[in-house]
Amino acid sequence: MDREKLTHDLIVEQIRHKLAREYKEIKLNPSGDPDLILANHGLTLGMVEV
């Protein structure tokens, strides 16, 4: 279970890092669902669920 979470968090972090150039605001959602919220100037442009 811990491994799963670790892998999950690692993937989320990798995605966040990759998308950081395209989106000025990337909100990490620790509770998941979605894991990442991608936004620019407060306008949500995408959500990522790992």
Partner 1 sequence: MNPGLNELKRHIFFELMNLVGRVFVLVRYSDNVILGNRGFAQEEKDNGIILVFNSKMNFLWDDYGITATLVFGTSPQKCFVPADEIMAVYCPELNAQFVTAPQTAVSGQKETEGAMPKKEGESAKTKKSQNVIEVDFTKRKK
Which residue spans within the chain are E strands per DSSP?
25-28, 36-40, 43-48
The set of long-range contacts for 37-43, using a CB threshold of 8 Å and a minimum separation of 24, is none
Nearer to partner 1, 14 or 44 (CB): 44
CA–CA distance, 31 with 38 (Å, rounded to integer): 16
**5 or 31: CB nearest partner 1:** 31
Residue list 1-50, contact with partner 1 (CB under 8 A) = 41-44
- Nearest approach, Cβ of residue 47 and partner 1 (Å): 12
CB of 41 to partner 1, least distance (A): 5
